[in-house]
Amino acid sequence: MNPYNEIFRYIFTLSESFGYDTYDFLPPDLDGDEYPFIFIGEQTNEDIRTKTKLRGKTNILIHAFSFETKRQEVVEMINKINLALVNMSYTNNYYWILEENKQRFFHENQDKGQPLVHGVLEVSSEFLGKGE
């Protein structure tokens, strides 16, 4: 599997394992029962040229959404995923070095009259092949 897709799928499965409704797209027309949820969104990948090995870096944005009155819930969701990624070293085929994690929390437009809180975890990691 492509290393960038492997880390994406790892994060997606990790989020689901915590019991969070997790999407790789922003769900349209939510009824309100779907909050809170995680959206594994934008990903930027960069291959690093070496003579013999495949290496690279990835930057992934993980979004958490809920109603404004549930800010603490969003903070806890982002923090739980963050701590798991800080302690992660391997996926199935790659060794990962966490370079940087950033968290942001802000208010979003209203969803059917209710203001939202939006948390973002930005994860920057570098991969090496296993055994390197």
Q: What local confidence, expressed as pLDDT, does residue 91 receive?
A: 93
Q: What local confidence, expressed as pLDDT, does residue 52 receive?
A: 82
Q: What local confidence, expressed as pLDDT, does residue 27 receive?
A: 83
> With the CA atoms of 132, 15, 4 and 39 taken in that order, what torsion angle do they form, in degrees rounded to the nearest 10?
-160
Reduced to 3 states, what is the DSSP secondary structure of residue 44? strand
Q: What local confidence, expressed as pLDDT, does residue 15 receive?
A: 98
Q: What local confidence, expressed as pLDDT, does residue 32 receive?
A: 66
Q: What is the mean pLDDT of each run of 10 residues along the chain (132 residues)?
A: 94 98 86 86 93 90 94 98 95 93 91 86 91 55
Calpha distance 130→128 (Å, rounded): 6
> With the CA atoms of 91, 96, 100 and 105 taken in that order, what torsion angle do they form, in degrees rounded to the nearest 10?
-10
Q: What local confidence, expressed as pLDDT, does residue 50 receive?
A: 84
Calpha distance 48→45 (Å, rounded): 10
Is the pTM higher than 0.85? The answer reads yes
Calpha distance 118→126 (Å, rounded): 26
Q: What local confidence, expressed as pLDDT, does residue 49 receive?
A: 83
